[in-house]
Amino acid sequence: MQRRAKLTSKGQITVPRDIRRLLGIRAGDSLVFERDGTGARVRPLRFESPFAKYRGIGNPGIGSGRQAVIRWVRQLRGR
């Protein structure tokens, strides 16, 4: 996929919509520009997993983390 964007006098670009969707970015997200052997790469800067918001969605009543799961299994077994 190849798309064009113009650089403004302030050094800003508008990332095309299909590229934003491909990268999974929205307004306010950060991008990282990395130099590679032939040019530069752009990737989203992620501080947490994009799946973090789904963590625990299928396990109501069970906290997150190993200790919470162990505690839940012990309660389930009656210990």
39 part of a folded domain: yes
The rounded average pLDDT for each run of 10 residues, N- to C-terminus, in the chain (79 residues) is 91 93 90 92 84 74 82 87
Structural domain boundaries, residue 27: 1-46
Domain count, the chain: 1
User: What's the pLDDT score for residue 21?
Assistant: 92
User: What's the pLDDT score for residue 72?
Assistant: 86
DSSP letter (8 states) at residue 53 = G
CATH number, residue 29: 2.10.260.10
User: What's the pLDDT score for residue 7?
Assistant: 93
Burial annotation 50-60 (CB, 10 A radius, 16+ → b, else e): eeeeeeeeeee
Q: What is the pTM of this model?
A: 0.54
d(CA 9, CA 50): 33
